[in-house]
Structure 1
Amino acid sequence: MSVGDGRRPEPRYSRIVGELRQRIETGELAPGERVPSTREITRQWGVAMATATKVLTELRREGLVRAVPGVGTVVSAPERVAGPSAAPAPAPAPAAPASAPARRSTPSASATPTGSTGLTLGRIVAAAVAVADAEGLDAVSMRRVAAELGVATMSLYRHVADKDDLLVRMMDAAIGERPLPADPPPGWREPLAVAARQLWGLFRAHPWLAPAMSLTRPQLITSAMVYSEWVLGCLSGHGLDDQAAFTAHLTLLNYIRGLALNMETEREAEAQSGLDSEEWMDAQEPAFRATLEGGRYPALARLARAGYDFDLDGLFEFGLQRLLDGLAVLLDEDAPPSRA
């Protein structure tokens, strides 16, 4: 397709879907055979994880592949027209239990297995977290989690009340992955920085976590309450009452959460467009520079000429230090030289 024909170029995920579809239709990838995983797609085609996820999602939507617990995503058996001599296509043999990958678990994962499936609360939560990590929170449903585990949907309700209950348990498990140190550093500034960086790392590892967390209707997440207790304990004895200390905690929390929201929205935009943020910016650059040519925005024009290295981690650290500097003023302490 020529660049000047006025049409948008085909998204990269569509081209990859087309290639894999052709390999399946020609028999190069046979029924029951594993298709490339999201990580393999990112390596082979040089795309981001969100794009790779959209590829497998589209192939599943077309019925060309299906997820097999303990194996991965495999080519579905072709549909055949039923007839007197038609025999159903053999399904791929299930994986042996010993080959199933280890899953993260929470203290509640020690629940007694139910039935021959060995279904536990920990396995359910781990499967839901894995789906959310790979495809976003919208992809998580009771039916989808049951399919990932190879069990009936109704069997999940022996362990979780509904999807909202599952979500709270997912958040609890995700936050509990990285416990805070048993002994906080001295003072208040470094302990708050430790907690903030720890939380930022969790949001980085689980992009769905920040949008799932509510500030106005906080969920009962015990692993998150540990963070609140940590911050309040660090500020205790430094001149703030409990009300002010908790306000400081919420301000810091909402700063980190607010910045982290960009990770999930970017993943969704990338999955829908097939373009990562740099590719999208490259596509917008001609219009942006044309707008700056009029001289109405001289500061932005200088910045565009010099270039700007957009980095979420850098933004996080810069804002964190400014918030801590402001808190130092509130505590009537001299702020140390800024590190960012």
Structure 2
Amino acid sequence: MHAIEPPYLRIVARIRAGIAAGELRPGDRVPSTRELMRSYGVAMATATKALTALRREGLVEPRPGVGTVVARRPRARPAAAPGGPAPLDRIVAAAIRMADADGLAALSMRRLAAALGLPTMTLYRHVTNKEELLLLMTDAAFGEAPLPHRDGDGPAGGDWRARLETTARLQWGVYRRHPWAAEVMSFTRPPLAANAMAHTEWCLTALEAAGMPLPRAMHAAMMLANHVRGCAVNLEWEANAEQDTGLDNVQWFTEQEARFARITSSGRFPAVMRLAALGPDAVDYELDTLFEFGLARLLDGLAALLRVGA
């Protein structure tokens, strides 16, 4: 008896085939969650899961103001090693897939074991507890975005600003593919994941070479990483909110118009009212836009510190 293929996998297969056949070219927009719901007769969660799976494969990417489009350079799907991956690698990969699809709250050792077809206690032969599993997942996620090491690209080459932009955008890409990772990261008790620590080392070396003392450079590296994470914590929250309410951001704001009018009718918020009067397109609230704006301003501030030798 054949297992029934989950609906989201049918959607993924159809879009993947369209990309492979050239029907969807790099930069072409792919159907939104609502379009997938109408075309395939599926729920919002199923449509969102399909787009998440395509992003995880590197076949599509978000584009501010446009939606989800075919990636410019789709990543090849990694081939399985001879004999299959090692047990721990299989466990970590399955845990990442589960967290990507359903969020960190849905990940449990029991559910993970069931997905792998293993007794729960078997997992504990490879990972001590869920905390260690999250550490391994984070390390693997950051390992997908290695820092460049070619001549001229590493901390010993190029200018400090370009190097900090590189690490910030690589981190943003990690969180875009794996929104749960932003929840795992901490700045008081950071997970000691080597691939994540490499980003700290990269920033410290770049800023020290530019003349910044190491203690100040560490503050700068933490500030930069916290900006990226601060934007990224909204990714999973927004995805869950859209699934729970069935409304995207624009639709949600539209439903709040009456409440907004009641609050602002007091006259206490004149600047907010003037901004609202400019129209819905006056401000781009896309997370990618907010990330880029904040990144540029942070780097401007670090440049000023370096100019005065602080």
Question: Normalising to structure 2: TM-score of the pair?
Answer: 0.72
**SS state of the match for residue 37, structure 1?**
helix
Residues 232-284 of structure 1, C-alpha deviations (whole Å, 9 max, x = no match): 11112322111111111011111111111111222232233232222221111
Query: 1: CA distance between counterparts of 2:205 and 2:43?
Result: 39
Structure-2 change in CA distance of 1:104 and 1:212 (3 Å): farther
Cα distance in 1 between the residues matched to 2:116 and 2:109: 11
Matching residue's letter, 1:235: L
Task: Tell me whether 1:220 sits opposite 2:192 in the alignment.
Answer: yes
CA distance in 1, matches of 2:197, 2:268: 49
Aligned with residue 140 of structure 1, among 93, 97, 107:
107
Which among 51, 55, 66 is matched to residue 44 of structure 2? 51
- 1:34 partnered with 2:5: yes
Supply the AA of the counterpart residue of 1:313. Answer: D
Change (3 A) 1:263 1:171: same
RMSD over aligned Cα, in angstroms?
A: 3.1
2:292 corresponds in structure 1 to: 317
Residue of structure 1 aligned with 2:92, choices 125, 138, 161: 125
CA contact (8 A) 2:175 2:182 kept: yes
Specify the alignment match of 2:208 in structure 1.
236
Taking structure 1 as reference, are residues 235 and 248 closer, same or farther at Cα in structure 2, changes over 3 Å only?
same
- Say whether the 8 Å CA contact 2:179–2:233 is kept in structure 1: yes
Count of matched residue positions in the alignment of Structure 1 and Structure 2 = 252
Task: Give the equivalent residue in structure 2 for 1:157.
Answer: 124
User: Which of these residues, 290, 297, 303, is aligned with residue 275 of structure 2?
Assistant: 303
Task: Please say which structure displays the higher CA radius of gyration.
Answer: 1
After superposition, residues 91-106 of structure 1 pair within 5 angstroms as: none
One-letter amino acid of the structure 1 residue matched with residue 202 of structure 2: W
Deviation at 1:138, TM superposition (A): 0.9
Q: Deviations over 1:283-302 (max 9, x none)?
A: 11222134334433222112
Q: Answer whether contact 1:192 1:231 (CA < 8 A) is retained.
A: yes
Percent of aligned positions with the same letter in both sequences? 47
Return the match for 1:172 from 139, 143, 158.
Answer: 139
Shift of 1:312: 0.8
Question: Are 1:262 and 2:255 matched, yes or no?
Answer: no
Q: Which runs of 5+ in 1 are unaligned?
A: 1-29, 57-101, 335-340
Gaps of 5+ in 2: 13-32, 50-75
Q: Tell me the SS of whatever aligns to 1:265.
A: helix
Give deviations 1:186-205, integer Å, cap 9, x for gaps. 11111101111111111111
Change (3 A) 1:262 1:302: same
Give the Cα–Cα distance (whole angstroms) in 1 for the partners of residues 78 and 143 of structure 2.
11
1:192-207 matched pairs, under 5 angstroms: 192-207=164-179
CA 1:171–1:111 in structure 2 vs 1: closer, same or farther (change >3 Å)?
farther
* CA displacement 1:12-33 (0-9 Å, x = unmatched): xxxxxxxxxxxxxxxxxx9943
Q: Structure 2 counterpart of 1:127, which letter?
A: A
Find the aligned partners of 2:246 and 2:184 in 1 and give their Cα distance.
24
Q: Does the 8 Å CA contact 2:109/2:123 hold for their aligned counterparts?
A: yes
Q: What is the distance in 2 between the residues matched to 1:289 and 1:146?
A: 51
Instruction: Determine helix, strand or coil for the equivalent of 2:186.
Output: coil
